[in-house]
Amino acid sequence: MESQVRGGTRWRRFAVVMVPSVAATAAIGVALAQGALAASFSVSGQSFKVRAAKLVGHDFVQYGGVAEGVDMEGKKAIHPVAVSGFKTAEITKMCQSVVTPLPVLDTSVTLVLNAGDKGRDIEAQNLYLDVESLDADAEFKNINIGVAAGQNKSPGIQPGTKANPNGFSQESETATLTDVKQTAWATTAGTFKLPDLSLRLKVGDPKKYECY
């Protein structure tokens, strides 16, 4: 049996704070100036929360896999996930947050990213999400359950990864999710356009700052 494995970057201290953002300070600066990230990026190694008012995804595929991250001691940890892939997607009012404990200072730092909340939707191409939990109202058009993952639809299985051939899978022409609350281990996109991007670091009780 072969399983998908993604991620594995060992982030340290403040570096881990950047995990769910846009991967580099320079890229953030460009995004703030232009409202777009026209480059591939991935985030992994620590779980993070995402909330969105609405996500409309086209050419949707979902299949079981595993994500490779790190535990609180920096040791490798494997997490079962449902991988959701979209050829294209539009996201309305997205919030993304990750908490990094700082034991030396007896506190935590929460990175909070907001975008697509001022009338312009986020746009993504070849978007893949390694999801641990998901709550939403969902509507699927022309759904096909049990098909071999990626058999009929684009984008299919993410390049460079593998899916469990004995695991679950489904595909649909469109997937519409509203009032989304999601915990994920990784996000990868070929292009991610983030209009009205806002990124903040918050020190203190993460319950005050997380997306939900």
Q: Is residue 172 domain-resident? A: yes
Report pLDDT for 146: 72
Q: Is residue 161 domain-resident? A: yes
Q: Is residue 3 domain-resident? A: no
Q: Is residue 4 domain-resident? A: no
Alpha carbons 177 and 188: distance in angstroms, whole number: 19
| CB 57 within 8 Å of CB 89 | yes
Domain span holding position 74? 14-204
Report pLDDT for 22: 34
Between the alpha carbon of residue 190 and those of residues 21, 89, 126, 151, 154, the distances in Å are 15, 12, 5, 21, 14
Q: Is residue 194 domain-resident? A: yes
How confident is the prediction along the chain (212 residues), in pLDDT tens digits per residue? 444 445 443 434 333 333 333 334 344 444 444 445 444 455 556 789 999 999 999 999 998 888 776 665 667 778 888 899 999 999 999 999 988 888 888 889 898 999 999 999 999 999 999 899 999 999 999 988 876 665 655 677 777 666 666 677 888 999 999 999 999 988 888 888 889 999 898 999 999 999 99
Counting the structural domains of the chain, the total is: 1
Q: Side chain identity at 36, as an amino acid letter?
A: A
Q: Which helix (H) or strand (E) holds 28?
A: helix 25-34
Q: Is residue 8 domain-resident? A: no
- Dump the DSSP string for 124-193: EEEEEEEEEEEEEEEEEES-EESSPTTSSSSS-SPTT----TTS-EEEEEEEEEEEEEEEEEEEEESEEE
pTM of the entire predicted model: 0.77
Q: Is residue 125 domain-resident? A: yes
Q: Is residue 78 domain-resident? A: yes
Report pLDDT for 49: 94
